[in-house]
């Protein structure tokens, strides 16, 4: 009688079939490069809340000078690709139902850089701009959609899948609110609507316990009036103006981003792992300029001393 051998349930380290599409997507993204901006600009709306130094460096360095760790992030590129497909279908459904415009370009402010080039201070594309006749009280709407993993979605709506309980909802990320706010201001909107679609639906059992609808399991929506969103855009524009002034004074800004509560957060790209005893700084972990930033060192620095920068 053959002796039974328990199979190994550990996954192989290098999938040869399952990861083929993910690798193709990552290779295509690397070849394509970053998306073109709506207008020549110092910063993109999608840079909302981003580290001031990263914004400054991105405006000064050519793509070829950036040691882009994002190129190596096959998982991140695949996740973005799936989100992009979903995003396109949602926008198509919205237009088919309500009309309006998608991918609406706009810009805010003006900036004359160290080389004398004049460009926008901030620029980007709104996902959708229009009016919903059945909700006319909302007026002109600017809409931004984000796809979220279970962690981000659960935190936003206030659900704990492990304990099967409700938590306090934290709403959309600060960066999402600020990005949406700048689009809303630029498009003269009365209402900003932020939508979130979960990449992993909440289970039927948890939904029943918490009395969640079928839509609650996979999506959520928040609405903000001009009185709420306009200050967010104003503060981010002031931050962009500060970055512009620093660059024109021959300085590269310090590593400061905007945190979850819209507070300034000092960053350190040498301490991104939690096992160092310092809270993990995800902004640095995902930054495409981390290696360059570590080389430059902490604090505001003279542009003249930054390798690869000519101004």
Alpha-carbon distance 23 to 67, whole Å?
A: 19
Instruction: State the Cα–Cα distance between residues 257 and 289, nearest whole angstrom.
Output: 14
**Does residue 270 form part of some domain?**
yes
Q: Which residue has the higher pLDDT, 285 or 254?
A: 254
Flag whether 91 is in a domain: yes
Residue 10 — pLDDT band, cuts 50, 70, 90? confident
- Residue 210 resides in a domain: yes
Q: Is 204 a domain residue?
A: yes
pLDDT of residue 68: 53
In a domain, 9, yes or no: no
Query: Is residue 12 situated within a structural domain?
Result: no
Whole-model pTM: value is 0.90
Q: Is residue 15 part of a domain?
A: no
Q: Is residue 311 part of a domain?
A: no
pLDDT digits (tens, 9 = 90+) for 181-194: 999 999 999 999 99
State the average pLDDT over residues 1-11: 74
List the single range of 28-42, 196-210, 228-242 with lowest mean pLDDT.
28-42
Q: In total, how many domains does the chain have?
A: 1
CATH number at residue 40: 3.90.320
For a pLDDT cut of 70, what percent of the chain falls above it? 90
Query: DSSP E strands: which ranges in 101-242?
Result: 101-112, 118-130, 141-148, 159-160, 165-166, 191-198, 219-225
Q: What domain range includes position 268?
A: 34-305
Predicted pLDDT of residue 309: 63
């Amino acid at each position: 009688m053959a002796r039974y051998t328990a199979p190994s349930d550990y996954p192989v380290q290098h999938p040869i079939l399952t990861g083929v599409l993910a690798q193709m997507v990552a290779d295509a993204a690397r070849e394509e490069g970053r998306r073109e901006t709506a207008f020549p600009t110092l910063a993109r709306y999608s840079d909302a809340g981003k580290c001031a130094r990263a914004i400054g460096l991105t405006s000064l360095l050519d793509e070829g000078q950036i040691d882009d760790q994002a190129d190596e992030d096959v998982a991140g590129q695949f996740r973005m690709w799936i989100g992009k497909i979903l995003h396109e279908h949602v926008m198509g459904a919205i237009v088919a139902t309500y009309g309006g415009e998608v991918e609406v370009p706009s810009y805010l402010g003006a900036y004359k850089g160290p080389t004398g080039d004049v460009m926008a201070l901030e620029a980007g594309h709104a996902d959708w701009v229009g009016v919903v006749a059945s909700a006319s009280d909302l007026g002109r709407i600017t809409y931004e959609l984000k796809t979220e993993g279970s962690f981000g979605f659960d935190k936003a709506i206030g659900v704990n899948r492990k304990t099967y309980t409700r938590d306090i909802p934290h709403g959309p990320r600060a960066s999402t609110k600020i990005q949406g706010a700048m689009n809303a201001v630029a498009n003269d909107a009365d209402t900003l609507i932020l939508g979130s679609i979960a990449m992993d639906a909440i289970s039927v059992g948890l939904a029943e316990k918490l009395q969640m609808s079928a839509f609650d399991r996979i999506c959520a929506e928040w609405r903000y009036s001009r009185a709420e969103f306009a200050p967010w855009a104003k503060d981010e524009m002031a931050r962009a103006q500060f970055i512009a002034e620093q660059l024109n004074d021959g300085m590269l800004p310090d590593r400061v981003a905007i945190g979850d509560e819209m507070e300034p957060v000092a960053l350190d790209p040498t301490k991104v792992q939690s096992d160092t005893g310092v809270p993990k700084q995800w902004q640095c972990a995902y930054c495409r300029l981390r290696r360059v930033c570590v080389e430059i060192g902490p604090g505001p620095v003279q542009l003249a001393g930054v390798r690869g920068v000519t101004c």
